[in-house]
Amino acid sequence: MNPAVSDFRAPADWAPDSWQRRVALQQPHYDDADELAAAGAHLAQLPPLVTSWEVLALKQALAEAQQGGRFLLQGGDCAESFADCTSPVISNRLKVLLQMSLVLVHGLKKPVLRVGRFAGQYAKPRSADHETRDGVCLPSFRGDLVNGPEFTAAARRPDPQRMIRAHAHSALTMNFVRALIDGGFADLHHPEYWDLAWVEHSPLAAEYRQMVAAIGDSLRFMETLAGPIAGFSKVDFFTSHEALLLHYEQALTRQVPRHPGWFNLSTHFPWIGMRTAALDGAHVEYFRGIRNPVAVKVGPSVTPDQLLPLIDALNPDDEPGRLTLIHRMGHAQIAQALPPLLEAVRREGRRVLWVADPMHGNTESTSNGYKTRRFKNIRGELEQAFDIHAAAGTRLGGVHLELTGEDVTECVGGARGLTEADLARAYKSMVDPRLNYEQSLELAMLIVRKSVNGHG
């Protein structure tokens, strides 16, 4: 079955707003229903951010990844912010993702499917609805899509107009990404455009340069034989975000002229976060009716008895490319938590793409009050993931990472040996700690070593 021609239609009892009949976790409490309705109606009139044919092309590519023909690289900020919707932040993030994909293509010898956590990653789940400081209790910050991070009553009030601003910032981001790619930003003939000044200091710079030179040589060799290869100057880039705020997602859920069914056109590839993946919850209800490829985060407490019904709900026809499972277990738990899930899905013969998120199970707080992740734990979870899949006879088809192209100090360790004391220097994340540029490239190289040689 080709996903592009599948006759998937929404179930008869589904509608873009049928999620409202279920319990929706992690939603803000808007205090003015009319204001919310007006913002939703406005948003529903605005143009979409992506198109149905792009969404179906991605589903086809994910189907190929399920077969082992592609490797998924999904990455970006934990939370985008309106303030970071700037040229350097967007272009540096795109650069690091492209450079990582170059490392992966070269090492894995297969096409890499690039998906950004951007152009819509503006909503965050929180462990508490409220935050109290010095006796003052205010709603928690839930991402720029919902409210502001400043600790004032005005900033923390959930404001439906932010959905319009988030849509606009996503469109600005998307427009710049598309323009950079169309303009040859990713041109393999000019790898020098890809260099960021401070790669100079990286212990991996020599290895990286050697690889870029090897790719240039192969390209020149091919072109000597076959003439100019136009396709090499362009790359595909898809977008993804956690589809958490369902009023926003609903307003961008559309029907289009030539493809049946409903598409979420706020992003190519929405995912359900770990905290909102209950089978009878509003998020699963919303997701089951859209035609996009979808992903679900799977944490260490999920049992096979919970996972199999979720797969049935989200992909009842076992459509290729439709469902990705992103496991995020933690380095200390993956060896115990993952094998039963792999075994159950394999036994039932269900078609999924398995992807590893080695970030979210490895978050910890330092003694000096920072939220961080240790590079060795991120690497440890990823390496175990490859081994566990190999032992189970399943395939790890991709990685999901929180990273930035900026030179931040948020995760400790890596080739440069960042310490806890370094965290104060350039800690910028609004929510979770991200790999910086060097740590991201190092991880891409380690993925290649691990998956090609079976050891790190």
Beta strand spans in 266-421 (E)? 269-272, 294-298, 323-327, 353-356, 364-365, 371-372, 396-402
DSSP, collapsed to helix, strand or coil, labels residue 121 as coil
Q: Quick one: 78 or 115, whose CB is closer to Co ion? A: 78
Annotate 205-223 with b (16+ C-beta within 10 A) or e (fewer). Answer: eeebeebbeebeeebeeee
Sequence-distant contacts of 44-49: CB under 8 A, at least 24 apart: 44/251, 44/252, 46/164, 46/167, 48/252, 48/254, 48/265, 48/266, 49/119, 49/120, 49/167, 49/170, 49/171, 49/174, 49/239, 49/252, 49/265, 49/266, 49/267
297 binds ligand PEP (CB under 6 A): yes
Span of 24-32, 145-153, 273-281, 364-372 interacting with ligand PEP by CB under 6 A: 273-281
Interface with ligand PEP in residues 328-347 (CB under 6 A): 328
Interface with ligand PEP in residues 207-266 (CB under 6 A): 242
Q: Which does 328 bind (CB under 5 to 8 A by kind): Co ion, ligand PEP, none?
A: ligand PEP
DSSP, collapsed to helix, strand or coil, labels residue 404 as coil
Q: How far is the CB of 357 from ligand PEP (least distance, A)?
A: 6
The Cα–Cα gap between 27 and 37 comes to 15
Q: Which does 125 bind (CB under 5 to 8 A by kind): Co ion, ligand PEP, none?
A: ligand PEP
DSSP, collapsed to helix, strand or coil, labels residue 114 as strand
Span of 33-41, 253-261, 267-275, 421-429 interacting with ligand PEP by CB under 6 A: 267-275
125 binds ligand PEP (CB under 6 A): yes
Span of 1-9, 104-112, 271-279, 303-311 interacting with ligand PEP by CB under 6 A: 271-279
406 binds Co ion (CB under 5 A): no
300 binds ligand PEP (CB under 6 A): no
Q: Which does 261 bind (CB under 5 to 8 A by kind): ligand PEP, Co ion, none?
A: none
268 binds ligand PEP (CB under 6 A): no
Question: Residues 432, 434, 444, 451: which binds Co ion (CB under 5 A)?
Answer: 432
Q: How far is the CB of 112 from ligand PEP (least distance, A)?
A: 20
The Cα–Cα gap between 313 and 326 comes to 17
274 binds ligand PEP (CB under 6 A): yes
Joined together, the tokens standing for residue 325 give 């499972």
The Cα–Cα gap between 135 and 124 comes to 24
Q: How far is the CB of 298 from ligand PEP (least distance, A)?
A: 8
Q: What is the DSSP string of 131-193?
A: EEETTEEEEPP--TTT--SSSSHHHHS--THHHHHHHHHHHHHHHHHHHHHHTTTT-TT-GGG
272 binds Co ion (CB under 5 A): no
Joined together, the tokens standing for residue 65 give 């990844």
Span of 46-54, 171-179, 205-213, 272-280 interacting with ligand PEP by CB under 6 A: 272-280
Q: Which does 283 bind (CB under 5 to 8 A by kind): ligand PEP, Co ion, none?
A: none
Contact (Cβ atoms closer than 8 angstroms) between residue 302 and residue 278: no
Site string for ligand PEP, 32-71 (x = CB under 6 A): ----------------------------------------
283 binds ligand PEP (CB under 6 A): no
Site string for Co ion, 53-92 (x = CB under 5 A): -------------------------x--------------
Q: How far is the CB of 403 from Co ion (least distance, A)?
A: 11
322 binds ligand PEP (CB under 6 A): no
Annotate 310-346 with b (16+ C-beta within 10 A) or e (fewer). Answer: bbeebbeeebbbbbbbbbbbbbebbeebbeebbebbe
Binding site for ligand PEP (CB under 6 A): 78, 125, 242, 273-275, 297, 328, 360, 432
